[in-house]
Structure 1
Amino acid sequence: MRITCVGGGPAGLYFAVLAKLADPRHRITVLERDPAGVTYGWGVVFWDDLLDDLFRHDPVSAARIVDAACGWDEYEVRATGKPVTHLGGYGFSLGRHRLLEILGERARQLGVEVRYEAELADPAALPPADLVVACDGAGSRIRDFRARHFGTRIETGRNKYIWLGTPHVFRTFTFGFERTEAGWIWFHAYPFTDRASTFIAECPPETWTGLGLDRLDPADGCARLREIFSAHLDGRPLDHAGRGWRNFRRITAERWDHGNVVLMGDAAHTTHFAIGSGTKLAMQDAMALADAIAGGIADGTALSAALERYEHRRRVALAPLQRAARASSAWFERMPEYADLPARRFSYALSNRRGEYPAWRYLLHMSTQGTAGRTMLRWTLSARRWHRARRRPAGRLSAALS
């Protein structure tokens, strides 16, 4: 089968890896518009469920990803006028650049052709292929070229946000809320190497204009944010990498395939960054699509039937996460309503922003804010992570981060 992946992000590269592993006879080309080694964004986050899936599908690339990742074992919540509180939980983070290096190298080792600086000015001029995978992001040209077939819908969020990086290394995943003369502004930050962190600033539009951020260019805006969040950055700068403020766009499509074209990752669906699942969902899309195509070839069904199976499987899996993302983004849009809560209740409201927790979680949260309870919770979660890692292929390697 001739397969063309338009977009060399995690979804496109990982799908190419899995499709080639399933059948080395596939002729797979990945078209990436940026030069090799160039990518937007800073770090990505993921959790054990994605690692489990990665090790099931390709232990080689999974082991390399784990080996390059950072781990954290709790969440820290800071807010003006409140003592610092902590939330239980752990996760992993990895520089997006490093993730693409790992996946690109693995794809090329398997015989995938990866073409960089392959700008697709006209989607109608795609090279002949049996399957075209549109994994070119939220602004997908392939999807928009055939928008009436896919039934694309876009909803725009209320808050403003900007995706930044900083050489300040946060100890763990950190939420920081600052009250300013113009209102509340906050950040989501996490380390992704031992030298850098991702730093996403977010605020209501009233705060954004009140602070004059709407009138500042990206460099001056970063300088202003550095002043606002000076207590958290230890004097280190913020880097915008040429990207400015935006509103989150929730993209959905009525259908994900048309003829021999199928959507994957952000081209098919976007999920608010507040639940940190964009990369995870894109790579799980790649797994499902590769499985569906391999299964279709094995049982002799048509490509259209395989694509329908892929879409059905992923829509079912996505539904609860999309609900969680909606609830989470809505909480941040209402954040000022919670600002006057005492510190422990405020951090619990942040933790339970999806509204899914049973009553005992509140009691657990309150009891683990002291040193002894917090230490016990971290130890318990660390042991759980270690045992889960040991059950995977190459378990010793993955356990090393626990």
Structure 2
Amino acid sequence: MKIVCVGAGPAGLYFAISAKLRDAGHEISVLERDPPGATYGWGVVYWDDLLDTLYINDRESAQRIRAASTVWQDQVVAIHGEHAYLSGYGYSVNRAVLLDELARRAVQLGVDVQHERAVDDIAEFADADLVVVADGANSRNRQRYAEQFGTELSQGRNPYIWLGTRRVFDEFTFGYEQTPHGWIWFHAYPSSAGVSTFIVECQEETWRALGFGELDDAATTRLLTEIFDEHLAGHALISAARGRPASWQRFTQVHNQTWRHANAVLIGDAAHTTHFTIGSGTRLAMIDALVLAEKLHEHEQTSNALKEFDGEGHAAMRVVQAAARTSMAWFEDVDRYTDRDAVDFCFAMSSRSGLQPPWRYQAHRLTQNPLARKALRVYCKGLRWLGARRRGESWKRPGAVSPP
């Protein structure tokens, strides 16, 4: 098959890898309008379920991603000068490093990866057997054929900005600060050695009253550094990631009635988005890529493969997108909960996407005990070790999990 992937993000690159692994005879090109290394954001998070899937699908790239990743354990919520905790662990990897590793693996398998190659109309690839549209939530190609895909876009209410800091957060940290103009908060987690991702969010009214609409890049980071000074422990915030200054955004919710049109198919954020507060965007993009490659391998007719991918994908995404919308709405109305103490606020935040049985609240209060929390950390470390053993991870690689 002659396949063209538009967009060299996690979705496009991982599809190319997965398709080549299943049939080395595919002629696959990945076309990216930006130069190498020009990527937004800092780090992305994922969990064992994705790592398990990556190791099964392509051990080579999975090992590279895991080696470049950082483990964080527990989530901490800081509000009113108090702290509350949620047990668990996850992984984070710098987005630029992730893309570098995926691109390297794709090229190794014979994929033609071209940067600074803009595609504004997929009609130029009418001779291709398949065009995979993976150019993100703001996909120009999807918008050009919005009527055919049945595209529906809406924006979240809260402004947010992705920043970085040299303050290393060992835990996934949510910090809330009350200003004279309302609440503002951050989500922080380690991205790579010596650097953490620091996402700031607030309500529109607070954003306007604090003057962020008129402040330049330097003034914005200075003001945010002052607001979160106690959490940053003397470290500054960093705006530019690989030369690009960060900018305030509103989250774009993407829904398409169908992901296929003519010889094209949408995957990743071009097909669907989920709010960053549930941390599933990269995972869903890579799962899309893997499933599409598998469907193409299973079906002789491309049209049948795309039909099955579309139908099963939409069914799976309904629940995920509903949870993401609910999570986004909770943060948009966060001031309904900020009068609570840290423990109760933390429980409200952790249960924002679904109903919880009464015993979960009591269990949550119990885990605030230092001894109970220490026991849970040992338990989670054991789970992480067992998962790594199951995958056959090497203990000698940088970033590998060490036995407890």
TM interval, shorter chain, is: over 0.9
Partner of 1:8: 8
In structure 1, runs of 5+ residues without a counterpart are none
Displacement of 1:215: 1.5
Tell me the distance in 1 between the aligned counterparts of 2:106 and 2:163: 29
Does 2:267 correspond to 1:268?
Answer: no
Deviates more, 1:1-10 or 1:340-349: 340-349
Partner of 2:316: 317
Partner of 1:199: 198
Letter of the aligned partner of 2:67 in structure 1? Answer: D
Partner of 1:238: 237
1:170-181 equivalences under 5 Å are 170-181=169-180
C-alpha offsets along residues 294-349 of structure 1, whole Å, 9 cap, x if unaligned? 001xxx3x211100111222222222221211111111011111001122111111
Displacement of 1:393: 4.2
Displacement of 1:121: 3.9
Partner of 2:31: 31
Partner of 2:307: 308
Tell me the distance in 1 between the aligned counterparts of 2:380 and 2:362: 17
Same amino acid, percent of matched pairs = 49
Does 2:143 correspond to 1:144?
Answer: yes
Partner of 1:256: 259
Tell me the distance in 1 between the aligned counterparts of 2:123 and 2:296: 24
Tell me the distance in 1 between the aligned counterparts of 2:57 and 2:188: 30
Root-mean-square deviation (CA, aligned residues, Å) is: 1.5
Number of positions where the alignment pairs a residue of Structure 1 with one of Structure 2: 397
1:61-76 equivalences under 5 Å are 61-76=61-76
TM-score by length of 2: 0.95
Deviates more, 1:209-218 or 1:389-398: 389-398
Partner of 1:21: 21
Partner of 1:56: 56
Tell me the distance in 2 between the aligned counterparts of 1:90 and 1:216: 36
| Equivalent pair of 1:271/1:277 in contact (CA under 8 Å) | yes
C-alpha offsets along residues 119-176 of structure 1, whole Å, 9 cap, x if unaligned? 1244433473110000000111221111110010011111111111122211211000
TM-score by length of 1: 0.95
Deviates more, 1:342-351 or 1:113-122: 113-122
| Equivalent pair of 2:274/2:281 in contact (CA under 8 Å) | yes
Equivalent residue for 2:286, pick from 273, 283, 286: 283
| Equivalent pair of 1:74/1:172 in contact (CA under 8 Å) | yes
Partner of 1:338: 337
Tell me the distance in 2 between the aligned counterparts of 1:168 and 1:212: 25
C-alpha offsets along residues 23-59 of structure 1, whole Å, 9 cap, x if unaligned? 0000000001111122111100000111111111111
Tell me the distance in 1 between the aligned counterparts of 2:32 and 2:402: 33
C-alpha offsets along residues 176-212 of structure 1, whole Å, 9 cap, x if unaligned? 0000000000001111112111111000111111111
Displacement of 1:388: 2.3
| Equivalent pair of 1:259/1:304 in contact (CA under 8 Å) | no
Tell me the distance in 2 between the aligned counterparts of 1:342 and 1:66: 37
